[in-house]
């Protein structure tokens, strides 16, 4: 008789076909990885921040524990100053430090939802949401975006409404709507009309709005009337903007994220007090990294500049490779660290990914990993070193030419 583990962990744990093929391909010469998302890997040949980070951490005592549920005051002020420098009104009391964006979600889902409540999550987007929502005893309900004229992604408000209706039919209260701005992997950034539509639906359902803005520093082609920080925007519901060192400064190893609080002024104090209670239960943010956070945020300018240059260079390589007569189409986004490629529908996206691994020793992610629909897609990272990236996309082009 199987052990009665929590139904929140009711996922298939068996290795899929692609994982097995990846293990084999990694042992072959010439293997290239177009899924990498860790900017600290030495093979990416980005600036090594180790010495500067060590010096910043070394200037603050590591042998003293100073618990602070919402984060050390100097660290929260440093984060608020980053928002103000970007033109967003923000003060330190509206900042809650966390150990990561994943923890930010976990704290917010505890704050906002009761077991069985629904959270509306975007699709396509990264698959982590399903895990984060269900691990808090809530129910994820997806809503979609669509790609079309003039060559950009659009929020599907009809899909958003259907998702809320689906939750209601299942007897679930909508506790929150999640948006990712800009989205991963589509790179789609919200414009003012889309932000207003989200706010309107949140008000209708008395749901909070959670905006994952970890890639907000990497919008290369903003839409008209862009929205950079939803928590700084006038809104009628509790609103939360998520950020962190992992993406904005290319420092995922230091495990510092944050939540910026927004929404009606008369609700902010209660929201903060309740969130402080939840955060105080865990006290999980790294103490030395908090103390050094003002310096680390300044150091991030160096890594951001290098990352932005890398993203632009590899994005240009994709366009050069596939903009002419080609069976591969590059779907344009506003920014981010990934690109989506539409391939011929002669195979499924998993079959294309397997063929790319087995015939060309190149790893890319099939579109179904991100809930992409309406075609056959591969998702590639824009982070690899330019020479490796150019070689990998050339191999992909050759594979498609042989099999289209």
What is the CB neighbour count within 10 angstroms for residue 133? 26
Give, rounded to a whole angstrom, the gap between the first and last alpha carbons of the chain.
49
Q: How confident is the model at residue 338 (pLDDT cuts 50, 70, 90)?
A: very high
Mean of all residue pLDDT scores within the chain:
95
Assess whether pLDDT exceeds 80 at residue 153: yes
**Between helices 192-205 and 157-169, what is the axis angle to 10°?**
20
Nearest of 115, 165, 107, 156 to residue 8 by alpha carbon: 115
> Which pLDDT does position 77 carry in this prediction?
98
Place of tokens 């199987």: 2
> Which pLDDT does position 65 carry in this prediction?
87
> Which pLDDT does position 155 carry in this prediction?
97
Nearest of 144, 147, 149, 117 to residue 133 by alpha carbon: 117
Assess whether pLDDT exceeds 80 at residue 10: no
Largest Cα separation within the chain, whole Å, is 62
> Which pLDDT does position 100 carry in this prediction?
96
Assess whether pLDDT exceeds 90 at residue 13: no
Assess whether pLDDT exceeds 90 at residue 250: yes
> Which pLDDT does position 11 carry in this prediction?
74
pLDDT tens-place string over residues 193-224: 999 999 999 999 999 999 999 999 999 999 99
Place of tokens 């060590």: 54
> Which pLDDT does position 187 carry in this prediction?
97
Q: What does pTM read for this prediction?
A: 0.96
pLDDT tens-place string over residues 90-101: 999 999 999 999
Place of tokens 């002024």: 265
Query: Residue 111 and residue 198: Cα distance in Å, rounded?
Result: 20
Assess whether pLDDT exceeds 90 at residue 7: no
Q: How confident is the model at residue 14 (pLDDT cuts 50, 70, 90)?
A: confident
Q: What is the mean pLDDT of residues 130-155?
A: 95
Assess whether pLDDT exceeds 80 at residue 9: no
Check residue 20 and give left, alpha or beta (phi > 0: left; psi -120 to 50: alpha).
alpha
Instruction: Name the residue with higher pLDDT: 326 or 142.
Output: 142
pLDDT tens-place string over residues 347-375: 999 999 999 999 999 999 999 999 999 99
Name all domains of the chain by residue range, CATH numbers in brackets.
15-48+302-403 (3.90.1150.10), 64-298 (3.40.640.10)
pLDDT tens-place string over residues 274-311: 999 999 999 999 999 999 999 999 999 999 999 999 99
- Percentage of the chain modeled with pLDDT above 90: 88
Cβ atoms of 71 and 77 closer than 8 Å:
no
Q: How confident is the model at residue 85 (pLDDT cuts 50, 70, 90)?
A: very high
pLDDT tens-place string over residues 31-71: 999 999 999 999 999 989 999 999 999 998 888 888 999 99
> Which pLDDT does position 326 carry in this prediction?
87
Tokens for 234?
Answer: 């006038």
Assess whether pLDDT exceeds 90 at residue 15: no
Query: Residue 30 and residue 359: Cα distance in Å, rounded?
Result: 11
Tokens for 128?
Answer: 């982590």
- Percentage of the chain modeled with pLDDT above 70: 100
> Which pLDDT does position 323 carry in this prediction?
85
Tokens for 40?
Answer: 């600290």
Q: Pick the most confident of 10-19, 59-68, 101-110.
A: 101-110
């Amino acid at each position: 008789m199987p052990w009665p583990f929590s139904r929140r962990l009711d996922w298939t744990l068996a290795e899929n076909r692609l994982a097995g093929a990846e293990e084999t391909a990694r042992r072959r010469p010439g293997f290239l990885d177009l899924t990498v998302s860790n900017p600290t890997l030495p093979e990416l040949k980005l600036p090594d921040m180790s010495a500067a980070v060590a010096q910043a951490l070394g200037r603050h005592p590591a042998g003293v524990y100073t618990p602070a549920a919402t984060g050390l005051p100097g660290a929260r002020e440093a984060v608020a100053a980053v928002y103000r420098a970007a033109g967003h009104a923000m003060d330190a009391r509206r900042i809650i430090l966390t150990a990561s964006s994943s923890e930010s979600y976990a704290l917010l889902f505890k704050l906002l939802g009761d077991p069985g409540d629904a959270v509306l999550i975007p699709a396509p987007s990264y698959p982590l949401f399903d895990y984060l929502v269900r691990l808090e005893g809530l129910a994820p309900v997806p809503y979609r975006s669509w790609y079309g004229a003039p060559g950009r992604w659009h929020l599907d408000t009809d899909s958003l409404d259907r998702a809320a209706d689906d939750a209601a039919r299942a007897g679930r209260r909508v506790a929150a709507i999640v948006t990712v701005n800009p989205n991963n992997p589509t790179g789609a950034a919200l414009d003012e009309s889309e932000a207003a539509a989200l706010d309107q639906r949140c008000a209708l359902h008395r749901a909070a709005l959670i905006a994952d803005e970890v890639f907000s520093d990497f919008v290369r082609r903003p839409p008209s009337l862009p929205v950079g920080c939803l928590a700084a925007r006038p809104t009628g519901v509790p609103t939360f903007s998520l950020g962190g060192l992992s993406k904005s400064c290319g420092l995922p190893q230091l495990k510092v994220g944050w939540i910026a609080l927004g929404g009606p002024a008369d609700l902010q104090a209660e929201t903060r007090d309740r969130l402080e209670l939840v955060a105080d239960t865990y006290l999980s943010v790294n103490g030395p990294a908090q103390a050094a956070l003002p310096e680390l945020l300044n150091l991030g300018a160096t890594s951001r500049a290098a990352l932005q240059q890398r993203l632009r260079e590899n994005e240009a390589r994709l366009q050069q490779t596939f903009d002419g007569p080609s069976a591969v189409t590059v779907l344009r986004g506003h920014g981010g660290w990934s690109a989506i490629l539409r391939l011929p529908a002669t195979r499924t996206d998993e079959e294309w990914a397997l063929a790319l691994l087995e015939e060309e020793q190149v790893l890319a992610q099939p579109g179904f990993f991100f809930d992409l629909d309406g075609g056959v897609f591969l998702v590639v990272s824009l982070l690899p070193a330019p020479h490796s990236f150019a070689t990998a996309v050339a191999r992909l082009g050759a594979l498609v030419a042989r099999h289209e």
